[in-house]
Structure 1
Amino acid sequence: MATPAAPKILFYSHDTFGLGNIRRTLLLAETLGAAYPRGSLLIVTGSPMIHAFRIPPRTDYIKLPCIDRTTADRYRPAFLTMQAGEVAAIRRGVLEHSMLAFAPDLMVVDKRAGGIEGELIEPIRALRRRHPLVKLVLGVRDILDEPSKTRDSLKRTRDMAIIARYYDEVWIYGERAIFDAVTEYGFPPDVSAKTRFCGYLKRPTQPPRRHNGPPRVLVTTGGGGDGTDLIEAYLEGLIALPRSVALETTVVFGPQMSLADRARLLDRFAMLADVTFVEFESDLTERYASADIVVSMAGYNTVCELLSCAIRAVLVPRTKPVGEQLLRARLLAARGMFDLVEPSELRPDRLMATVLAALARRPASRTIDLDGLPRIQDRVRALLNGTDT
């Protein structure tokens, strides 16, 4: 095992749909790498997109075979034509070998205490036996899914028992006053005692860029795998505007939008002179600084970026395969932080009317806890030093 000044930190990011898990993991790796300049950090991930992001200093990664989520707790191989059981065995074997060989001082698991379909359980047992001093943390975004569905899922996967037996802490990357996961998801007392609400994870920002001319709109749907309807509704609404209303728009497709959907959108809308189409950018910080308003889904990372930038936004959350985006968007919209278009009400006229109304108002002031990263640094220091704060 390494010393507290030069720790070995292992991250597990299972990654199925979208970019949220791996982006959050890379942010944590960058933050902890900066806090421990002599540390070594390793990410074990199933993300098909990790190569598209900047990897933080002193951080490396091991790639697991990709899987897709078909329902909340069901998965299948994404690319390999092998049987699901064979792919699961490969992932489990890579995980166990990596964890035991790296021998981390701290392991941070994203969202799934037992991993996808329990793939982490045996590796964690083996790690605990061979390296009993390792600290194990489960990191959870503010909202997993609707409370009743999440309770059922946690029961099926036996996550509460796994956390109680093997984990030292649970970090919730959110604010309890907005959504109390401990209560809503029915954490038992032994897990509740290990749980800490860290706050939302603030992202780097740039000063807003002043400009002359019409308002600038940024339309982004994260990975883009299910963003076609949102982009199409916005562009149809844009075309229908009277000539007296002008907007400059940038549309970011996302790396997981299908080639067919991308081609169809470009065939219909590429002729629009006031619209710029971008395939993908791993860092939208400059785009946020140049925009007057953002139209987006309501994924955790996107919302953290919007909160960090204090920019106007219209949220159109997805509802499948889980309902966390809809719940998050409703809670934040009820506090006046964003405008919301319900997925069932996504029509070009409705969306464009909401965008124009938001542009006509001053940006709302927001009071929300964005100190998650400093608190995580404090928790890591306490765990590695064997102290509590």
Structure 2
Amino acid sequence: MRRLHDARILMYSHDTFGLGHLRRCRAIAHALVDEFKGLQVLLISGSSIAGAFDFKARVDFLKIPSVIKLHNGDYTSLDRHIDLRETLAMRRAIIHDTARLFAPDLFIVDKEPLGLRCELEDTLHFLKGRGATLALGLREVMDAPHLLCSEWARHDVLRKIEALYDSIWVYGPDDFWNPLTGFELSTPLEARLTYTGYLRRHPPTSPPAQALPAADYVLVTTGGGGGGGPLMMDVLAALERTPELPHHWLLVLGPFMPAEEREHIHARARALPRVLVSEFDSHIEHLMVGARALVAMGGYNTFCEILSFDKPALLVPRVAPREEQLIRTRRAAELGLVDWLHPDDAADPACLAARLRALATRSPPSQAPRPPQLDGLETINRLVGDWLDSHPHARRRAGAGGR
């Protein structure tokens, strides 16, 4: 562990839908404070349930007003009584003032280069002028190239990335997918790109919040649950049609699933003898470790957990309004890491039941021809360590001592 004196990292997670951005940033922040003693990390998050997660010492979070993304891609304030423009103005002001007062040495931005509706742009210029280092972290799959190119072209995002960011970290291996497919990158920008590998997850050290199922079970999870109702109901339909399917089934709904979908799922599950339903578990890793296999969508964090805990998995990805999950799932299936179904096929109970039955004999990801690369957190620690060694301002804060 390297000892530091008051080195500071600020992180930004826009968080409009689901849990993925918050959980990814939290995993990175925890790895950094484990590696560097004395480092302080402050995470700015728009997640409405950030407080449901525990954070390690020297990691704190600042909750900004929440904005939610609707299924059609539009945004609205979480509090419907506040105008979206007012919410965005509050977010911009809080972010800028926090950056000014916290005075980070390094600013790590998750996924959105300019922030939600460009809310980071002024702050990025401000920190750049102060000499802070700016790093952009991207999922290994952002979206279909034609959709991402169109979205970024509206705000000249690629040019602004080159003007502002010192580093671009891709949270995946270089042989899985290029998140900037479709863009023509300049040589200087290409040189700033680093593929980290996937971010390995570990079981929590705290005890489970709920008792783990005693029987052999398959875990069905849709992350935050906001778009997960259809998959949960498709799984129930398959179990209703084929009650002789092996194993018990544990459905974790997620905090953002609409109330009417929850009630419908609970009612149907009560009629099935080997189906349990859980509302939400902030330490779902416990449930993943204990599961025989997983059924999920195709989100980044769940995929990392499938690889980390080496679980056979069936993925049914979201296909709209973004194609990110579809691209990730197809590529993972090509590499032999998971099985998958298009949601149109999963809506057929007989088809889904056959795939659920096959989970019992499916090999885990570690037995694929090309086992997954899971050294992303170690790579990020190395990148930050190299930056601390070379950055003059950080050296003034860094103390003596070794790793």
- TM-score in terms of structure 2 length: 0.89
How far 1:82 sits from its partner (Å)? 2.4
| Residue number among 170, 173, 187 corresponding to 2:171 in the alignment | 173
Output aligned runs, 1:54-93, within 5 Å: 54-70=54-70, 74-93=74-93
Output aligned runs, 1:1-389, within 5 Å: 5-70=5-70, 74-129=74-129, 131-132=130-131, 134-205=132-203, 215-243=216-244, 245-346=245-346, 347-364=348-365, 365-366=367-368, 367-386=371-390
Determine the C-alpha separation between the residues in 2 that align with 1:67 and 1:371.
32
How far 1:294 sits from its partner (Å)? 0.6
Cα displacement string for residues 49-103 of structure 1 (whole angstroms, at most 9, x for unaligned residues)? 1111111211111111111224787422121422222111111000100001000
Determine the C-alpha separation between the residues in 2 that align with 1:165 and 1:374.
27
Determine the C-alpha separation between the residues in 2 that align with 1:272 and 1:350.
19
Cα displacement string for residues 321-354 of structure 1 (whole angstroms, at most 9, x for unaligned residues)? 3110000000000111100011221222211211
Whether the 8 Å CA contact 2:128–2:134 is kept in 1: the answer is no
Whether the 8 Å CA contact 1:6–1:37 is kept in 2: the answer is no
Q: 1 or 2 for the larger relative contact order (CA 8 Å, sep ≥6)?
A: 2
Determine the C-alpha separation between the residues in 2 that align with 1:21 and 1:238.
32
Whether the 8 Å CA contact 1:4–1:384 is kept in 2: the answer is no
Determine the C-alpha separation between the residues in 1 that align with 2:85 and 2:316.
36
Q: Secondary structure at the match of 2:37?
A: coil
Whether the 8 Å CA contact 1:139–1:172 is kept in 2: the answer is yes
Determine the C-alpha separation between the residues in 2 that align with 1:250 and 1:319.
24
Summarize the Cα distance change of 1:138–1:213 in structure 2 as closer, same or farther, 3 Å threshold: closer
Determine the C-alpha separation between the residues in 1 that align with 2:73 and 2:195.
25
Determine the C-alpha separation between the residues in 2 that align with 1:212 and 1:193.
49
- TM-score in terms of structure 1 length: 0.92
Cα displacement string for residues 249-287 of structure 1 (whole angstroms, at most 9, x for unaligned residues)? 111010111111101111222232211111111122221
Determine the C-alpha separation between the residues in 2 that align with 1:14 and 1:53.
17
How many matched pairs?
379
**What's the C-alpha RMSD, in Å, of the aligned pairs?**
2.2
Amino acid of the residue matched to residue 105 of structure 2?
Answer: D
Determine the C-alpha separation between the residues in 2 that align with 1:189 and 1:205.
40
Amino acid of the residue matched to residue 340 of structure 2?
Answer: L
Whether the 8 Å CA contact 2:10–2:43 is kept in 1: the answer is yes
Summarize the Cα distance change of 1:214–1:58 in structure 2 as closer, same or farther, 3 Å threshold: closer
Amino acid of the residue matched to residue 148 of structure 1?
Answer: H
Whether the 8 Å CA contact 2:138–2:179 is kept in 1: the answer is no
Summarize the Cα distance change of 1:358–1:7 in structure 2 as closer, same or farther, 3 Å threshold: same
**Which 10-residue stretch deviates more, 374-383 or 180-189?**
180-189
Amino acid of the residue matched to residue 370 of structure 1?
Answer: L
How far 1:205 sits from its partner (Å)? 4.5
Amino acid of the residue matched to residue 325 of structure 1?
Answer: Q
Whether the 8 Å CA contact 2:317–2:325 is kept in 1: the answer is yes
Q: Secondary structure at the match of 2:223?
A: coil
Whether the 8 Å CA contact 1:151–1:186 is kept in 2: the answer is no
Amino acid of the residue matched to residue 224 of structure 2?
Answer: G
How far 1:358 sits from its partner (Å)? 2.7
Determine the C-alpha separation between the residues in 2 that align with 1:71 and 1:171.
28
Summarize the Cα distance change of 1:65–1:361 in structure 2 as closer, same or farther, 3 Å threshold: closer
Question: Identity over the aligned pairs, expressed in percent?
Answer: 33
**Which 10-residue stretch deviates more, 184-193 or 365-374?**
184-193
Whether the 8 Å CA contact 2:255–2:280 is kept in 1: the answer is yes
Whether the 8 Å CA contact 2:10–2:42 is kept in 1: the answer is yes
Determine the C-alpha separation between the residues in 2 that align with 1:151 and 1:116.
17
**Which 10-residue stretch deviates more, 227-236 or 360-369?**
360-369
Determine the C-alpha separation between the residues in 1 that align with 2:119 and 2:270.
45
Whether the 8 Å CA contact 1:223–1:257 is kept in 2: the answer is yes
Whether the 8 Å CA contact 1:73–1:117 is kept in 2: the answer is no
Whether the 8 Å CA contact 1:72–1:322 is kept in 2: the answer is no
Q: Secondary structure at the match of 1:330?
A: helix
Amino acid of the residue matched to residue 36 of structure 1?
Answer: F
Summarize the Cα distance change of 1:99–1:334 in structure 2 as closer, same or farther, 3 Å threshold: same
